Structure formats: structure tokens, C-alpha cells
Amino acid sequence: MNKELVSRFMSKKPELEKIFSKKHPEEYKEIIKSLVTLLNTGNENGDLDPERIHEINDGDYQGTLVYIIAETGYQPSNYWYVKVYYGSCSSCDTLLGISDYEEGLPSKQQIKEYMELALHIVQGLKKMD
């Protein structure tokens, strides 16, 4: 777990809650892109690039999504990754379980659960060696 990223997450919680209050995230990549954008410091080098998020999905109805995120800059040499487990139903997939295909804006409870999922994603981010 990268303590600096978790610390940045904690300081940006209100901004992320606003994002989650406007609509249900449709996929994990959407959550990761929001996180990467908010966690960035504005430095040219070392930030994660929200436009360079690559998804590996070798599953079918369930499996593991691997997200590889490049750092900013021309021809980045540093990458981060996070694994997310998914399923085909709301009882075996965290994101589906939170949204449960509800219409309308997310409830306060759903926002809280999206925030918890986002924190777990940040805690799972690891820099590739």
C-alpha cells in the first residue's frame, strides 16, 4: 500500500464524493480514471496519466481485471497496476452490488460504498518494478 496515495485520497474525499453523487459509475475503469485524476499533484513527472489506463480482462462471466496505468510524460518508463475482481451478478461483483441497476442518483449509502471501493482500489495500487 502506498501511504502517499492513500493520504492524497483522504484529502480528496469530498471531491470524489461529489463525483459519485452525480451518477453511478458504470465500470471499474471509470472509478480508476476519477481516482487517477484526483490523486494527481500537477507535477509533470510522477503523476499517473488518466488517459493511459490499460485494462486486461481474460475472464468471462467473472475474473480479474488488471489495470495498468502509465505515469505522465513523454514515453513513460514507470507504470502502476491494480487488480480488481469481478463477477456476473450483484452478489459476486462489488460494483454491481452497489449500483444494483438502480435508476436515478446514488443514495448516501451507495456513495459511501463507492468511496469504500475506491479506497480499496487506491490501497491496491502498486508501482511496477
At 4, which helix (H) or strand (E)?
helix 3-11
* Helix-helix angle 108-124:13-22, to 10 degrees: 130
Instruction: Kindly tell me if the per-residue pLDDT of 51 is higher than 70.
Output: yes
Q: Which stretches within 12-126 are classed as H helix?
A: 13-22, 28-39, 94-99, 108-124
Instruction: Kindly tell me if the per-residue pLDDT of 54 is higher than 90.
Output: yes
Average pLDDT over residues 24-40: 92
Average pLDDT over residues 72-83: 91
Q: Is the separation of the CB atoms in 37 and 15 below 8 Å?
A: no
Q: Is the separation of the CB atoms in 49 and 76 below 8 Å?
A: yes
Average pLDDT over residues 100-125: 89
Domain total for the chain? Answer: 1
Q: What's the whole-model pTM score? A: 0.89
**Residue ranges making up the domain that contains 71:** 3-127
Average pLDDT over residues 113-125: 94
Q: What is the pLDDT of residue 45?
A: 66
Q: How far apart are the first and last CA of the chain?
A: 14
Cα gap 92→129, rounded to integer Å: 31
**Residue 128's Cα: distance from chain center in Å?**
17
Q: Is the separation of the CB atoms in 52 and 41 below 8 Å?
A: no
